[in-house]
Structure 1
Amino acid sequence: MGELLLPGSFDETLAALVRGLSAGRMLRVVNFHATPSYRREEYRKQFAAYAGLFTPITPDNFASAFDGTWSDPRPGLMPVLFEGFRDNVDVMLPVLEEFGFKGWFFVPSAFPAVVPAIQRSYAKAHKLHLPKRDEYPDERVVMTWDEGRSIAARGHGFACHSRSHFELTPETPDHVLWDEIHTAANEMRAGLGQPAEIFCWLHGAEAGVNPRADAMLREAGFRYLFSNFKVQRLA
């Protein structure tokens, strides 16, 4: 894992977290990456338990979960599936729908368009970690945009996880930022046929780590930034 970058000191970050938690401003998020079929029953047991405790966070109620106006008596839960792996669609999506949850798919926008013959090598080169037990005899290991549109039409959420699974630094040059933000936004919108409003960097850099990137995210139409410790409003 890369170095944890914060816009301020660790003490400042911790104090902000404490203030947010004390005010009840929190999103309950459970993260997944690859979701292989040999773990299907584990996932079913996990979400069967969640179904008795939580209400799904959906694209329609996300804003209220974020801004503290959540009115459901049960807290919301946001299952996040990183990278756009095919097994997220084949394995985890049916589990989520069985128990009434909406998945949130955080996809590097270039990944679904990589031709199947090189998807595994692309994944290795971009820190997209496939399961150690490869369950697909054919070459495709990534969701397609056709699948993405179908998933979105069923009420699940999407976020842009940069273009190439990119780790932001304060020194990242503008031409790279443009590709990772503007090109990514255009690819997400073309692939899904809907606006892309949520962004997340590899290793979860916060707003303030690179102010040029923050400005470009706003220009590209992103409204929220997911980081390691918080969700920040961009616009």
Structure 2
Amino acid sequence: MTKPSLDTTRAQFAAGHFIRVVNYHSTPRSDAAELERELEGFARDYAPVTLDDLDRLFETGTWHKDKPGLIPVFYEGYRNSATVAAPLCEKFGLTGWFPIATSFVDCDPEFQEAFARSHWISLVEEDKQGGRIAMSWDEVADLSTRHVVFPHTAHHEGFDTVLDEADIRREVVESKAALEAVTGQPAPAFVWLHGSSYGQSPLHDRAVKDAGYRYQFANTMIHRVN
């Protein structure tokens, strides 16, 4: 775990850097003890960030908690995000944020390894054992009752490979509709493969905005879509 010094954290907080985002991908059970130690440390030094907390920060420009916020982000929709990462977040009172590649979840378990290998989704040996690699839609729905789930495109695509209106509808719009049908709540955020920033392509920015997303997650910041 990368742990900034207390002085560094205070300086960042004073400068208005209110939220730390930490990205994870597969969280196999064999690494659960290490993840548990990390999340325990984060829970000690940071405050959890719910969607309401993030909305309030962007609406008011003021962080209302006495510690900086922590958003642990678990990418792709691995089944172990639901079975390993989410319970550990809950153990320490953290809200997990889960960007889901919706076609990965939708894929027949028999073909999920092939899907992962052809769509930039990294696997460890444990991922390939025991059936599903991706979480089920029931697990997605259950996760959404306690955490934040949102699309990571449909097929784990970057904006540089989503080139026309049909591609945009599939990756930006239909992924949102698929999640919302399962969770019964609006999908608040979106993230491209490679964590591309809002503002790089007017065509793709407009698609994200028109689809009704409030936020776009990127490698360097969380963008408020407007």
Task: Please classify the TM superposition score into its range, dividing by the shorter chain length.
Answer: 0.7 to 0.9
Is structure 2 residue 97 aligned with structure 1 residue 104? yes
Q: Deviations over 1:160-208 (max 9, x none)?
A: 1011100112982222112111111111111222101200000011122
- Per the alignment, in what secondary structure is the counterpart of residue 228 of structure 1? coil
Q: 2:69 aligns with which of 68, 76, 96?
A: 76
CA distance in 2, matches of 1:26, 1:205: 21
- Map 1:25-174 onto structure 2 (within 5 A): 25-66=17-58, 68-134=61-127, 136-137=129-130, 139-153=131-145, 155-169=146-160, 172-174=163-165
| Counterpart code for 1:63 | D
| 1:132 CA drift (Å) | 3.4
Q: Percent of aligned positions with the same letter in both sequences?
A: 33
| 1:64 CA drift (Å) | 2.8
CA distance in 1, matches of 2:214, 2:156: 19
8 Å Cα contact 1:36-1:135 kept in structure 2: no
8 Å Cα contact 1:84-1:142 kept in structure 2: yes
| 1:124 CA drift (Å) | 0.7
CA distance in 2, matches of 1:53, 1:23: 17
- Using the TM superposition, name which of 143-152 and 194-203 deviates more: 143-152
- Map 1:161-200 onto structure 2 (within 5 A): 161-169=152-160, 172-200=163-191
CA distance in 1, matches of 2:162, 2:182: 30
- Map 1:184-223 onto structure 2 (within 5 A): 184-223=175-214
- Using the TM superposition, name which of 199-208 and 66-75 deviates more: 66-75
Q: Which runs of no fewer than 5 residues in structure 1 stay unpaired?
A: 1-19
| 1:133 CA drift (Å) | 3.6
- Aligned pair count reads 214
- Per the alignment, in what secondary structure is the counterpart of residue 67 of structure 2? coil
- Per the alignment, in what secondary structure is the counterpart of residue 169 of structure 1? helix
Q: Deviations over 1:64-118 (max 9, x none)?
A: 3445321111111000000010111111111111111111001112121111110
CA 26–174 in structure 1, closer or farther in 2 if over 3 Å, else same: farther
| 1:60 CA drift (Å) | 2.3
- Per the alignment, in what secondary structure is the counterpart of residue 215 of structure 1? helix
| 1:140 CA drift (Å) | 0.9
Q: Paired residue for 1:226?
A: 217
CA distance in 2, matches of 1:136, 1:171: 32
8 Å Cα contact 1:145-1:192 kept in structure 2: no
| Counterpart code for 1:28 | R
